[in-house]
Amino acid sequence: MSEFLSMAAESISHSVGLDRPTNACDRVLVAEDDPMLRRIMQSWLDSWGYQVMVAEDGAKAWEILQTEPAPQLLILDWMMPTIDGLELCRLVRERGKSPYQYILLVTAKDNKQDLVRGLEMGADDYLSKPFDRSELRARLRTGRRILTLQDEQQRIVEALHYQATHDGLTGIWNRAAIFDLLRREFEIAARSIHTTGIMMLDVDHFKKVNDQYGHRAGDAVLREVPRRIQQVVRSYDLVGRYGGEEFLVVLPECSPNEVEVCAERIRLAIAGEQVPVGDSAISITVSIGTAILEPASNSEIGALTAADTALYNAKAKGRNRVVSSDSISTSLLSRTPR
């Protein structure tokens, strides 16, 4: 983790040193009712490498701010028709759009109370008229540094969230995350008439793969299994690593028959082609236990227990097969999920 944060910090340090705009903040809105000044600023900004959008009044500026991707650097004249710069500041801050938009308020006012009012309404900086080219560029660089730091910080947050919710080897949901998603599906199902399908999968004889071909080959198998699962399930079905060589699949709005059909499709996809590992090709199969989550009759823990018991039964019957919890004696369903 410390190495990851160190690399991120290095990335931030490098980014803020760039002289030209970065992708995070290269879109600039100029809202100015003076056509001559508007053209001058657009010419300067174009020469500095920015993507420039212009508005002759506040209403047009607010319309541009509704587009995607919206500009992140805003140069707003205080005095404009329809909506002035101060009101635009208020609207932008009340909306609370992410990512943050940096506002440079341009004004001929030089009263300290007016400037304080502008900052309190949401402006990040101000530029007093008349201003020259170098002053505008310097203040935009300040905004760029802040936006670039924000962009890099957001990347770190997203990377850390990914690490916290995904399995490091396979890239699919980890155990904690897939449990949380299962609970979410239970809550959704409880408010509807739909049932949710659950599958527990276990790679057959996985220890032999590690013993015969080595752990790198075993890792290759563990990466390949969820890849093949995701190829044959729906885009919104959920695939997670339950632990070791076991995987959990959650299928929202799925009937018992659909779960069985999908499970058999997965089994065939995994057994139908060997996994290439270096100069070798490894044949693998999986055992699958299925269950139905129906809030009217069971809980997410109960359905998970049933699927796990069905998996245990599939392995006991010789592996490489699908067993439904409906086909198992109810006395066996008291087993606790592994």
Q: Is residue 278 part of a domain?
A: yes
CATH value at residue 22 = 3.40.50.2300
Share the mean pLDDT of the chain. Answer: 87
Are residue 43 and residue 190 in the same domain, yes or no?
A: no
- Active-site residue (options: 32, 56, 245, 300): 245
Take residue 222 and report the two structure tokens written for it. 């563990």
What count of residues does the chain have? 338
Are residue 13 and residue 160 in the same domain, yes or no?
A: yes
CA–CA separation, 65 and 74 (whole Å): 9
8: Cα within 13 Å, side-chain hemisphere: 17
- The boundaries of the domain holding residue 110 are 2-164
310, 328 contact by CB (below 8 A): yes
pTM of the model: 0.70
Are residue 103 and residue 218 in the same domain, yes or no?
A: no
Which whole-number Å values give the CA distances from 267 to 51, 107, 245, 325, in the listed order? 52, 69, 15, 17
CA–CA separation, 54 and 42 (whole Å): 8
- Whether 76 has a pLDDT exceeding 90, the answer reads yes
Looking at 140, 164, 188, which one is the last position of a domain? 164
Are residue 72 and residue 154 in the same domain, yes or no?
A: yes
- Whether 92 has a pLDDT exceeding 50, the answer reads yes
- pLDDT tier for residue 98 given thresholds of 50, 70 and 90: confident
DSSP code, position 332: G
User: Residue 328: its pLDDT value, please?
Assistant: 66
Are residue 152 and residue 200 in the same domain, yes or no?
A: no
Looking at 115, 141, 164, which one is the last position of a domain? 164
Tens digit of pLDDT for each residue in 263-311?
Answer: 999 999 999 999 999 888 999 999 999 999 988 888 889 999 999 999 9
294 is catalytic: no
- pLDDT tier for residue 16 given thresholds of 50, 70 and 90: very low
Are residue 84 and residue 28 in the same domain, yes or no?
A: yes
Give the chain's domain count.
2
Q: Is residue 170 part of a domain?
A: no
- Whether 10 has a pLDDT exceeding 90, the answer reads no
- Whether 337 has a pLDDT exceeding 50, the answer reads no
- pLDDT tier for residue 11 given thresholds of 50, 70 and 90: very low
Are residue 202 and residue 282 in the same domain, yes or no?
A: yes
Are residue 181 and residue 315 in the same domain, yes or no?
A: yes
Q: Is residue 94 part of a domain?
A: yes
Are residue 75 and residue 179 in the same domain, yes or no?
A: no
284, 225 contact by CB (below 8 A): yes
Are residue 54 and residue 146 in the same domain, yes or no?
A: yes
